[in-house]
Amino acid sequence: MKASVREIEDLCGVDSLVKIFCDLVSADTRSDPDSANVPSTVGQLRLGAQLSGIINALGFECRQDNHGVVITRVPASPGLENAPKLALIAHLDTAPDAPGSHVRPMLVKNYDGGAIELENSLVTDSSICPELPSHKGDDIIVTSGDTLLGADDKAGVAVIMQLLHDLSSDPSFRHPGLRAVFSVDEEIGKSADLIDIPSLECAYGVTIDGCEAGELDTATFNAEAALITIKGRSVHTGIAYKTMVNACEMAARFMSMLPPDEKPENTRGTEGFFHVHEMKGDASLMRIKLILRDFSEEGLSKRVALLSAIAELLNKETGGSYVSVEHYHQYSNMAKPLSEHPRIVQLCREAYKRAGIAIRELAVRGGTDGSNLSNRGLPCPNIFAGGLACHGVHECLPVKSLHSAYSAVRALIEVAAEERA
């Protein structure tokens, strides 16, 4: 099947949620892991400012703080002032893994279950996106194949924006005090540290940043990032005997010592991994960037220790200090804090039931803002937003899943309105 620009334009004319989403993906908000700025890219600031203007026009108090985070305060409906406040959180940035500018959303109408041919002749099928066949008959938003779509997490942003429109226009929509939070730099692991939790005054929250419809994430990886620096000794090849220390060769040795079965492409379920995502350099200097993931803290510590052990072994073999390891924490598993503060998970379960959505509670092979927010004191599971095959040019979004995400969050607001302090 082929996607059509005309079909998405027609749908935007009658579907406000899809229209909001398509407007959002036109902004290039990729985060930049190499930037020292906060947020890391100006596109996030621009989109946040644009949304702030729209929200203020709806009549809600909204501001963009010094970090670029957008926070909206929605007062409780009359009589619900004592209900615990709820935070709704989505992130403005998209992943740096694929181009994010000049995104051209298109629509596959009434998907037939087979391969989708993108405009640039790339093909998206079940080998790339295993969930696709289950969406037979659905309308699916894709791109030209030259960029990511941005459903991670502009689908979540769109859901919150639609809810704010509905809260503004419908006085019968009963709700507790709400905080709508649009964070920045989630994709590079910095977002949760930029959110001032005490100022939100919320008892709990949810991120709207999951994938397949029905997903409810109540556990995530523990995550570290690592930088391996290998400083070689480069000399003329003609006189290199017993003198040259080739950083490229040492980088290859380092890579060969990582467990071959513990890569993302060879692991699933609750299995952790080492993922080398960037290598740069030459014979005199090589840098290797990795991420380490494990569902247990002990397992993650062992992975960090293995990197140091490999570096020590290579240095011993070469009789120098050529290899060094730096690592830093990215996020922690949300499972423990959620088990200690289970009410928000119970409310999510009730909301899915009320919305008629079959729930699948997952230990997700990733992380969300809720990972660190939960560990910092704001219990915060993750609700699906609908995007599939995220972080690449095959990313797509079933329209039905986007609407299901809206229904789940709206039902959560209604359930939360029934809570008492």
Q: Which of 186, 209, 262, 395 is catalytic?
A: 186
Q: Which tokens belong to 235?
A: 């000399």
Q: Which of 93, 139, 294, 369 is catalytic?
A: 93
For every residue of 212-254, which 3-state class applies, written as one string? CCCEEEEECCEEEEEEEEEECECCCHHHCCCCCECHHHHHHHH
Q: Which tokens belong to 275?
A: 């993922």
> Does the annotation count 112 as an active-site position?
no
> Does the annotation count 224 as an active-site position?
no
Please give the Cα distance from 12 to 217 (Å, whole number).
30
Question: Active-site residues: which are they?
Answer: 93, 186
